[in-house]
Structure 1
Amino acid sequence: MIRLFPWAARGSPPSAVERPLDVVAVHAEYADFVFRSLQRLGVRPPDLEDLSQEVFVVVHKRLHTFDTASPMQAWLFGICKNIVARHRQRAYVRRETTAIPPPETSSEGIQPTPEESLATKQARAELEELLRELDPVKCVVFVMFEIEQMGCEEIAKELGVPVGTVHSRLHKARKAFEKALARRQARLSRGRRR
């Protein structure tokens, strides 16, 4: 077990606020956060489990360096960001899918037509393509606010950053998204003219 606090080695009893953390405890409390962060950073579903494991391997190796004065989520998010950047550099973009997704149903429980399913799938693919063009850190804030409908205060708390930083990243992400969308529309219109 990796002890997080220096007093743990001296045998001093921890207070109620300070308790030793180990990788198992960090995983139990933050595994969902790591998984969501990787999704928000644009990791494809087939790669999520592998990259999540990579994050916790780094946590295992580096937990002793964690500064207890900062939020655990901010530290974990930094690790996620680095893992995703390395993953992209290695160009591990796989095209296969591991399972057939269940058919989607509307809020009334009615299955969509094949045309509606195809349109939804194409729209998601286009959105993912546009989001990949954004800076990963800004993309996360954009996804949390625009897609997951989270408030700025909630995003700031989850990422361990000031609310002003969230507003700044969101503003820049919106501009970058609009530019990416304009480039895509220009490419499509050039393709239609040919």
Structure 2
Amino acid sequence: MWDLHHLFKKHARDIIQSLRRRGLPEETAADLTQDTFLRVLVSPPAESKTTYNPAAYLFRIARNLGTDHQRREGLLRRADLTPEDFSAIADPSPSPEKQVYDRQKLMLAQQALQELPDRTRKAFEMHRMDEMTIAAIAAELNLSVGRTWTLIRDAYEFIDRRLTGL
């Protein structure tokens, strides 16, 4: 078994320089060097004639990783964006107006919930918040499944009317 610590100390700098000569940036070369040693650590070479020279084996793995990296990079399309172009990219977060609107709708929904009769509110909360089935809610509240469904439906309709302003 190879002493990877010793091999790393002895060859890592040379492997990085080899990858740099192939046109890779410093950070990428360092990452691929670590990947080289990690690959040998995870999957050590089988004992054979080709692995009697650990340095050559490590350089070959690094070269192959570098080639794979350059191929992947070649497949990526890059676009240079000006600061104006970059700022024009849509922000996925909601606008301040949307946030205010959503908070107002949430307050209306909370108020509507408080106005519901206790049993209707409890059935709705168990269904919507606790994600309980209608049958489980019916058993918990000692009601029929049909009556439980009616309570939940009524709660949805009441809240919807409050949110739409009808």
**Shorter-chain TM-score above 0.5:** no
Name which structure has the greater RCO, CA cutoff 8 Å, separation 6+. 1
Structure with more helix by fraction? 2
* Range class of TM-score, shorter chain: 0.3 to 0.5
Task: Normalising by structure 1, report the TM-score.
Answer: 0.33
Say which one has the larger Rg. 2
